[in-house]
Structure 1
Amino acid sequence: MEVTCDLEVDVNGEEIFLVNKEILSSFSGRLRKLFNKPSATAAAKTLKVIFHDLPGGTEAFELITRFCYNNGRTQITPTNTCLLHCIAHFMEMTEDVSSSPNLIELTEKSLEGIPYWTWSEIVNALKQCQDFFPTANSSGIYDKILETLVGRITTNSDTSPTGSSSESSTLRFSCDTGSTVSTKNSNHRAWWFEDLVILNSNSIEKIIKRMVSQKVDHVTVSRFLFYYIKCKLSNATSDEKKKATEIVVDLLHSLDRSSMSCKGLFGILRISSSLNLSKCCRSRLESMIGSQIDQATLDNLLVPAPTGMDSLYDVNLVLRFLKSFLSAGGPASLTRLKQVGSLMDLYLAEVAPDSCLKPSKFIELTTALPDAARDSHDAIYNAISIYLEVHVLLSEEEKMKICCAINYEKLTLESCKHLAQNSKFPSRTTIQALISQQLKLKSLLQDTDHLKSFSSSLKGNGCTKNQCNDGEQIILYAKKLDLSVENEKLKAHLQGMQWRVMQLEKICKKMQTQMSKIMKTRRSSPRSSRSLPRLCS
């Protein structure tokens, strides 16, 4: 019997097929309903149907045409199950149209064997699903394959499934596999990393969210996300890069902060400026970096200022990092705080010579951290000295505001001496520096007075041998002071303190001699067995 071709089908503008209307409509509810309309019963010998969004395109239409012409018989494999299932739904090849055989039913039976599919077959099926996502999603096949993929990853978390390595080799994405993004725990890539980079960011988002819900290790998840974005940015359009970056940042933000690499986050930050990321995405990225800024390096912080900003480096970005660090999950440990203090000292030395850096921003940088972040303020003094040398037109009031960042009690003697002779600093700062040294001397003198009082209370009770060098150290400390300052009263007062220290030194030496004699007496007496505290060491 001769089969006529009375139907012309335009598939997505790609190709035109000439088929038999009755044969295809006997399996497709979509075509059957179309031909039942009055407008479709025209006297024309050949009808024409145009599909603009047929899933799978010409390949899929050719498969269902063969299925229909072969009276509902075709070979269904893991390779074409997803494709056939989606076009069967699109063409409404349901039980109502053809009770047996039924293409939807046949593909669903094939899906029942998905636990036995190889890893590469699962990944390929998911890739097909995302290519015609609306139909795959509405039919439920997308979620089923995605769930199977995640299950395969979690079941074989350490090693790849048996036999999947060679099978998945054709799916591997050619990116720089020799320079994987480093993380704080390991550079190791899990077996499934390279296979999944062929998936789009929407699929990755669903996969990662499902993995997190199943308690997959956050370190592994974050390591994959850094690897994925690195590979994705090497071969994608600007819009694809932006979308992928925003999704990856959102996913990283949902993980434990301790699970991700600070270096990897800075890597994303470097490329984000050209992608015009959303404000929310950029804020989350900066927050994650700020929470672990103690792991950053100086090079990480030296981000060029955006166009229109009056400085060489983006100091506002660094200030936001510091704010996030100080507010992230309560107070930071003292060790981490001091690490950030050391990092900021290096940063201040780099930005201080910038003639465009405004005093207000420089002050914000020097005062951003609490006093406990630094044991010494020598680095801050040096940075301020450089800044004042470059910004010669500052008023005395502006200079004093800048110098308020210095804790003079945390300056070493050498820095105080340098400051006293530094003409770039206001005269009032010189006095403050000397007063801080005076307070240090007073503290030492008080300690010596307590020492004397303590030794008197021990008189007659004996004492271990001691070497009282405190007086000599105090004298040397006082002699190093540069007293060539304008404040004569302060100079005279410090000289008086120096004389008193010398007197205390003599007293301490006498005490040492007396203690030695007492100790000799106590050692010669057999009844003395009680050990006494050491006076001086």
Structure 2
Amino acid sequence: MKFMKLGSKPDSFQTDGTNVRYVVSELATDITVIVGDIKFYLHKFPLLSKSAHLQKLVTDHNDEIYIPDIPGGSVAFEICAKFCYGMTVTLNAYNVVAARCAAEYLGMHETMEKGNLAYKIDVFLSSSIFRSWKDSIIVLQTTKALMSLSEELKLVSNCIEAIAVKASSDVAKVDWSYTYNRKKLPEENGNDPNWNGIRNRSVPKDWWVEDLCELEIDLYKRVIASIKNKGIVPNNVIGEALKAYAYRYLPGFSKGVLQCGDLPKYQSAVATIVWLLPAEKGSVSSSFLSKLLKACIVIASGDETKEELIRRIGQQLEEASVNDLLLRAPEGEVMYDVNTVQKIVEVFLLQDHNSEIESVEEGSELQEPRGPGILSDATKLMVAKLIDGYLVEIAKDPNLPSVKFINLAEMVSGIARPSHDGLYRGIDMFLKEHPGISKSDRKRICKLIDCKKLSAEACIHAVQNERLPLRMVVQVLFFEQVRASTSSGSSTPELPKGVKDLTKEFLYGAESGWVEALTSCDHLPSLCSDLAHIPPPDTACCECENPKENWLCLCCKNVFCSRFVNKHMLQHYQQSNHSLALSYSDLSVWCFSCDAYLDAQLIQELRPVHEVAYILKFGEVPPFR
């Protein structure tokens, strides 16, 4: 620690009891200075020659003066008084702020005497304190007690600048001490056989992080903001600093369970940390953002802070884990805060949507062709798997409303994934924990599963699962048989008679656990006259370019997306009154006017187009004709 000694005379201040200070001298004291409860019996000449304020007070109040509001109190005044007598005083990082503020209050400037106390302290600060890493931090901490005058004297701003400059220094030039708790290097343990006794370890980029954790939140905010403004320290290092501060400042934060104590203090800390987060995506981990969000919810930090965290997590959702999304709901409600997770997923999906709008707006000015969105298929797949895992966890809550589970599952239903095993596990768990679910909700949930994308193990489980609608069980059996025939090279797979009967009865719309299909319809005359030639199943929606599992209008042969995407098929019906449509997902036929499925096997007008669609989808004729 840096220090400065002033004066050369021995310290002759004495104490009489607890409230009296006096100077041992042959001369009688002729002035009494009262600071709080302390009385100082001193001499006018040494004091008045250096202090403009004391000169004025002596003129106005004779020989006894009161200065109850002097910064730093009696301790700081004693330092100033000893300086006036030429006695030895030692200034360091702990007392220099109080001494400087007291000198300012007493008017100890160069106009009174050359080399006065204020000037000497300013020289000490600029030449020593502000050049020392740890001293600058200590001094900044001590300004808290005298903030107003410290700000006026620029002690705070100079400290912050000194700290920010050092934190932004090239690590190769860092030769001062700092606090850094980490695993010891081999040479520090003496276990390195190549160690020659000379320690030459590199300085980590985040060497400054732990020392700044000693600052109060308001000063910490200003220091980090200054470091960020210099633009030298990488954003990920700034992120590590904020993480370290949160772990130190917020009890229980590292475990994701904030312990409520001084609520306003913690609310301010969380809001400040979020405000300081670098704008760059990925500068902090999703795990850290999740902990901040959990803390924000617990302490009710404010909607603005919460929305910012939701936005940031959503922008890098592919990096999150299921545990990151398990946000506890307020007491008295369901177990998990599913609404907030829905907002996070919405932010993630909007990234693609917004980029599509950008592409359209830029038009011919685009220099290079752009894809339909900024999110890669791999990124979307990671999020789909993440939500599948999250659905498994929230499904265990028996109080979770069906609509919340369904809405979240539907949000990612448009993301293509090679396997639906994870989604199946979540839905099966939900059906298990919610046996009283309505028939319509059961249908809506189970329709999200693509039976063709279930593994052999999942199929074995599904066909024995009494919680599933019978129609879905038959679909699983059917697609397993199709898959088996494809691998064996057979063009007409032969199913057992029982499965044939079930498939014929349920797969194409007969009585099932979902809905009763119609065997006739008044709207069949509106069918297109040429349904022998239809677009292939992978045709994109003619409105939004959604690439797969769309609907074919059987009245005009245009292809539109489902209600789980952008609802263009439904909008087409509402605008054109074209009632009949075939789903390229499961080859079912729906009449919008009747609000019902039609049995494509029994209705003569529909059988040809159904067979054509089957051949286009699977590359072979249907097994039942």
1:183 maps to what in 2? none
The whole-number CA distance in structure 2 between the counterparts of 1:375 and 1:480 is 31
2:432 matched to 1:389?
Answer: yes
Indicate if the aligned counterparts of 1:396 and 1:426 stay in contact, CA closer than 8 A: no
Indicate if the aligned counterparts of 1:298 and 1:343 stay in contact, CA closer than 8 A: yes
The whole-number CA distance in structure 2 between the counterparts of 1:471 and 1:314 is 48
Q: 1:390 to 1:370 in 2, by over 3 A?
A: closer
Q: CA deviation at 1:202?
A: 2.0
1:319 maps to what in 2? 342
Q: Spell out the pairing of 1:302-317 with structure 2 (5 A cutoff).
A: 302-309=326-333, 311-317=334-340
Indicate if the aligned counterparts of 1:160 and 1:191 stay in contact, CA closer than 8 A: no
Indicate if the aligned counterparts of 1:409 and 1:437 stay in contact, CA closer than 8 A: yes
Indicate if the aligned counterparts of 1:78 and 1:117 stay in contact, CA closer than 8 A: no
Q: Find the residue that maps to 2:35 and give its secondary structure.
A: strand
> 1:450-497: per-residue Cα shift (whole Å, max 9, x none)?
xxxxxxxxxxxxxxxxxxx87725555967993342744968969x99
Q: CA deviation at 1:363?
A: 0.9
Amino acid in the other structure paired with 2:30? T
The whole-number CA distance in structure 1 between the counterparts of 2:73 and 2:33 is 18
Q: CA deviation at 1:256?
A: 1.5
Aligned length, in residue pairs: 445
> 1:285-328: per-residue Cα shift (whole Å, max 9, x none)?
3332332222222233333322122x222222322322232235
Which of the residues 321, 341, 363 maps onto 1:297? 321
1:2 maps to what in 2? 28
Which of the residues 238, 255, 272 maps onto 1:221? 238
Q: Spell out the pairing of 1:404-443 with structure 2 (5 A cutoff).
A: 404-407=447-450, 410-411=453-454, 423-426=466-469, 433=475, 437=479
Which of the residues 446, 454, 462 maps onto 1:403? 446
> 1:434-461: per-residue Cα shift (whole Å, max 9, x none)?
79959x96x999xxxxxxxxxxxxxxxx
Q: 1:416 to 1:17 in 2, by over 3 A?
A: same
Q: After the TM superposition, which of the residue ranges 412-421 and 387-396 deviates more from structure 2?
A: 412-421
Q: Find the residue that maps to 1:258 and give its secondary structure.
A: coil
Q: Please, what TM-score do these two structures have when normalized by structure 1?
A: 0.69
Q: Find the residue that maps to 1:8 and give its secondary structure.
A: strand
Amino acid in the other structure paired with 1:213? N
Q: Find the residue that maps to 1:132 and give its secondary structure.
A: helix
Amino acid in the other structure paired with 1:372? I
2:134 matched to 1:120?
Answer: yes
Q: Identity of aligned pairs, percent?
A: 24
The whole-number CA distance in structure 2 between the counterparts of 1:480 and 1:486 is 10
> 1:70-103: per-residue Cα shift (whole Å, max 9, x none)?
39x966666654443222223333344x143432
1:132 maps to what in 2? 146
Q: Spell out the pairing of 1:498-517 with structure 2 (5 A cutoff).
A: none
Q: CA deviation at 1:419?
A: 5.7
Q: Which has the higher helix share?
A: 1
Q: Which has the higher strand share?
A: 2
Which of the residues 340, 349, 355 maps onto 2:383? 340
The whole-number CA distance in structure 1 between the counterparts of 2:237 and 2:349 is 27
1:66 maps to what in 2? 82
The whole-number CA distance in structure 1 between the counterparts of 2:413 and 2:400 is 22
Q: CA deviation at 1:239?
A: 4.3
Q: 1:489 to 1:85 in 2, by over 3 A?
A: closer
Indicate if the aligned counterparts of 1:146 and 1:207 stay in contact, CA closer than 8 A: yes
Which of the residues 258, 263, 268 maps onto 2:292? 268
Q: Please, what TM-score do these two structures have when normalized by structure 2?
A: 0.60
Q: Spell out the pairing of 1:165-180 with structure 2 (5 A cutoff).
A: 165=177
2:500 maps to what in 1? 483
> 1:317-366: per-residue Cα shift (whole Å, max 9, x none)?
32232223223585422212111111211121222232101011111221
1:513 maps to what in 2? none
Q: Find the residue that maps to 2:500 and give its secondary structure.
A: coil
Indicate if the aligned counterparts of 1:123 and 1:196 stay in contact, CA closer than 8 A: yes
Q: After the TM superposition, which of the residue ranges 378-387 and 61-70 deviates more from structure 2?
A: 378-387
Q: CA deviation at 1:412?
A: 5.7
Indicate if the aligned counterparts of 1:93 and 1:102 stay in contact, CA closer than 8 A: yes
2:212 matched to 1:196?
Answer: yes
1:375 maps to what in 2? 418
1:210 maps to what in 2? 226
Two-structure CA RMSD over aligned residues (Å): 4.3
Q: CA deviation at 1:417?
A: 7.9
Q: Find the residue that maps to 1:6 and give its secondary structure.
A: strand
Indicate if the aligned counterparts of 2:291 and 2:324 stay in contact, CA closer than 8 A: no
Q: 1:332 to 1:480 in 2, by over 3 A?
A: farther
Q: Specify every segment of 5 or more residues in structure 1 that has no aligned partner in the other structure, as ranges.
A: 180-186, 446-468, 506-537
Amino acid in the other structure paired with 2:99? L
Indicate if the aligned counterparts of 2:392 and 2:430 stay in contact, CA closer than 8 A: no
1:85 maps to what in 2? 100
The whole-number CA distance in structure 1 between the counterparts of 2:227 and 2:490 is 64
The whole-number CA distance in structure 2 between the counterparts of 1:189 and 1:142 is 25
Q: CA deviation at 1:33?
A: 4.6
The whole-number CA distance in structure 2 between the counterparts of 1:110 and 1:314 is 56
Q: 1:340 to 1:100 in 2, by over 3 A?
A: same
Which of the residues 369, 382, 393 maps onto 1:350? 393
Indicate if the aligned counterparts of 1:6 and 1:21 stay in contact, CA closer than 8 A: no
Amino acid in the other structure paired with 2:35? V
Q: 1:353 to 1:92 in 2, by over 3 A?
A: same
The whole-number CA distance in structure 2 between the counterparts of 1:285 and 1:20 is 63
1:231 maps to what in 2? 248
Indicate if the aligned counterparts of 2:463 and 2:477 stay in contact, CA closer than 8 A: no
1:249 maps to what in 2? 274
Indicate if the aligned counterparts of 2:471 and 2:507 stay in contact, CA closer than 8 A: no
1:94 maps to what in 2? 109
Amino acid in the other structure paired with 2:380? L
The whole-number CA distance in structure 2 between the counterparts of 1:490 and 1:225 is 57
Q: Find the residue that maps to 1:259 and give its secondary structure.
A: coil
Indicate if the aligned counterparts of 1:289 and 1:321 stay in contact, CA closer than 8 A: yes
Q: Which has the higher contact order (CA 8 A, sep 6+)?
A: 1
Indicate if the aligned counterparts of 1:77 and 1:110 stay in contact, CA closer than 8 A: no
Indicate if the aligned counterparts of 1:5 and 1:18 stay in contact, CA closer than 8 A: yes
